[in-house]
């Protein structure tokens, strides 16, 4: 019979037992459950609610169960509904009455809540560390390919020449914002619900501050109803994972495009490509495509919990059992996709000449030609019109701006001097963008220095979390 069987004359049926169980997903939280129980028992002994001898038996028994689970030797009972009942049942079988006293002053509601919060913190700090690693790879690539010019795009049309490093760093800053979202989700999860019991607290003189300290939480949750029913931190985790996957998907889309024959900007390593079962020549960017595809499942995980939380009355409801699987799935998916992206960037071959060739195509110098006229006194709107007419002339005659003679420029406007040719060079165009955040060489160098400082700062955040014992 179940641990709550006193009220019932019959056990649930085999199907409903299976339907209501969460053991398979709960197994991932065994460490958090065991150490949450050790902290609870230690506090009970400190408060004189159970004896020190009982606590010592409980601690030894729980650590032995942890060791058995880690080694794959733990035997789960067919009636185990979740990890909490599995561990407590095994503990009671092992040490007897002392094991039955473990649950004093505690409900499965606050036990579940503390396990999920601790596991969420574990997942989040792992994601923060992987995010740091990915950004380090991106910054390394930006340094390696500094000076490579490529076409910048709007609407997937050639716009202006930019540094490839500048393009990569745009993703660096996207993932930097993702790091902050993950860190904020960690802060939201870093609150102790243990001691809230089922929903109203307990008559036992529990020391919630002590379990907060033992479990590495930064604070205790001040409202017992909120403590057992809150899953906002999982919504935060899922949102952070979703946005990061969207960023990965955008980068994957560009990698897929860049690796096509039409673009030829990069060649992916064989380690991050696959072939065709029928076409011998094929080299497919499958892992970029798969990462792009996995974005959908993470978005789905977020939507699932959003709908689950809608209209739930206080306090605990069985619906909340559905909060765990999607959160764990999203975190694991994001982690694996970040690892995959690191490998793709670290091992690709960049074809700088091909990028440079395309940077000169599609009238990417047009804005600079208009600026040339504006700097010589022509109103920019008029300069825009003059250059637009030049582009139309080129299209009709099958030319690029770089193909025009000085005389052809002069016909468009007498303000064009012979130095206009220098305004058409893609490297010079990119170099001229000297404003903070621009694609000019000096501006990108400063951006890389700022990125390096941010990496060091975020690395300290992860290190400090681990050093203060905030993750189990």
pLDDT tens readout for residues 153-196: 999 999 999 999 999 999 999 999 999 999 999 999 999 999 99
Question: For tokens 């619900």, what's the residue?
Answer: 193
Tens-place pLDDT, residues 41-66: 999 999 999 999 999 999 999 999 99
pLDDT bucket at 8, cuts 50 / 70 / 90: low
Strands (E), 104-180: 149-154, 157-163
Q: How far is 274 from 418, CA to CA, in rounded Å?
A: 51
Residue among 331, 344, 340, 264 nearest 25 (CA): 331
Task: Count the helix, strand and coil residues of the chain and give each as a percent rounded to the nearest 5.
Answer: 65, 5, 30
- State both tokens at 190: 């870093």
Catalytic residue among 5, 11, 276, 452: 276
Share above pLDDT 90 across residues of the chain, in percent, rounded to a whole number:
88
Does 4 have pLDDT greater than 60? no
- What are the residue ranges of helices labelled H in 190-318? 208-214, 224-229, 232-258, 286-309
| Per-residue model confidence as pLDDT tens digits over 103-149 | 999 999 999 999 999 999 999 999 999 999 999 999 999 999 999 99
User: Any idea which of 5-14, 221-230, 309-318 has the lowest mean pLDDT?
Assistant: 5-14
Is the CATH number 1.10.275.10 carried by domain 5-104? yes
Task: Establish whether 155 is a catalytic residue.
Answer: yes
- Cβ(409)–Cβ(420) below 8 Å: yes
- Mean of per-residue pLDDT scores for the chain: 94
Query: Looking at the predicted structure, is the pLDDT value of residue 412 above 80?
Result: yes
pLDDT tens string 304-360:
999 999 999 999 999 999 999 999 999 999 999 999 999 999 999 999 999 999 999
The architecture (CATH level 2) of 365-431 comes to Orthogonal Bundle (1.10)
Average pLDDT of the segment spanning 5-29? 77
CATH number belonging to domain 111-195+223-358+457-467: 1.20.200.10
CA distance 8 to 324: 28
CA 91 to chain centre: 37
- Asked whether residue 401 carries a pLDDT value surpassing 60, the answer given is yes
Dump pLDDT digits (tens) for 62-93: 999 999 999 999 999 878 889 999 999 999 99
**Domain locations in the chain?**
5-104, 111-195+223-358+457-467, 365-431
């Amino acid at each position: 019979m179940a641990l709550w069987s006193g009220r019932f004359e019959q056990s649930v049926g085999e199907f409903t037992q299976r339907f209501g169980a969460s053991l398979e997903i709960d197994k991932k939280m065994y460490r958090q459950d065991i150490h949450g129980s050790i902290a609870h028992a230690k506090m009970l002994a400190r408060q004189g609610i159970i004896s020190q001898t009982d606590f010592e038996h409980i601690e030894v028994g729980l650590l032995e169960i942890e060791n058995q689970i880690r080694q794959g030797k733990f035997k789960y009972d067919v009636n185990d509904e979740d990890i909490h009942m599995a561990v407590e049942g095994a503990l009671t079988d092992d040490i007897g009455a002392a094991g039955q006293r473990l649950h004093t002053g505690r409900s499965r509601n606050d036990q579940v809540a503390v396990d999920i919060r601790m596991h969420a913190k574990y997942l989040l700090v792992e994601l923060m560390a992987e995010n740091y690693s990915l950004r380090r790879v991106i910054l390394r690539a930006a340094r390696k390919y500094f000076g490579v010019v490529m076409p910048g795009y709007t609407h997937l049309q050639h716009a202006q020449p930019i540094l490839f490093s500048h393009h990569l760093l745009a993703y660096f800053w996207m993932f930097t914002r993702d790091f902050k979202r993950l860190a904020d989700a960690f802060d939201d999860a870093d609150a102790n619900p243990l001691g809230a019991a089922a929903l109203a607290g307990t008559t036992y003189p529990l020391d919630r501050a002590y379990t907060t300290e033992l479990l590495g939480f930064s604070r205790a949750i001040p409202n017992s109803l909120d403590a057992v029913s809150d899953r906002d931190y999982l919504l935060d985790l899922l949102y952070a994972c979703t946005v990061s996957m969207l960023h990965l998907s955008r980068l994957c889309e560009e990698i897929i495009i860049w690796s096509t024959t039409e673009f030829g900007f990069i060649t992916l390593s064989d380690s991050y490509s696959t072939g065709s079962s029928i076409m011998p020549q094929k080299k497919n960017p499958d892992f970029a495509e798969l990462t792009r595809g996995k974005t959908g499942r993470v978005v789905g995980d977020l939507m699932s919990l959003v709908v689950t939380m809608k209209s739930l009355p206080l306090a605990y409801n069985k619906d909340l059992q559905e909060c765990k699987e999607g959160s764990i799935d999203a975190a694991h998916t994001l982690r694996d996709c970040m690892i995959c992206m690191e490998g793709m960037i670290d091992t690709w071959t960049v074809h700088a000449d091909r990028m440079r060739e395309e940077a000169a195509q599609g009238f990417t110098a047009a804005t600079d030609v208009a600026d040339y006229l504006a700097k010589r006194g022509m109103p920019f709107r008029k300069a825009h019109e003059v250059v637009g007419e030049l582009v139309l002339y080129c299209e009709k005659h099958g030319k690029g701006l770089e193909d025009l003679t000085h005389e052809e420029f002069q016909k468009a406007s007498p303000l064009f001097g012979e130095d206009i040719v220098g305004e058409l060079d893609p490297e010079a165009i990119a170099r001229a963008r000297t404003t903070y955040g621009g694609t000019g060489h000096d501006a990108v160098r400063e951006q890389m220095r700022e990125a390096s400082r941010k990496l060091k700062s975020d690395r300290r955040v992860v290190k400090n979390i681990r050093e203060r014992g905030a993750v189990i």
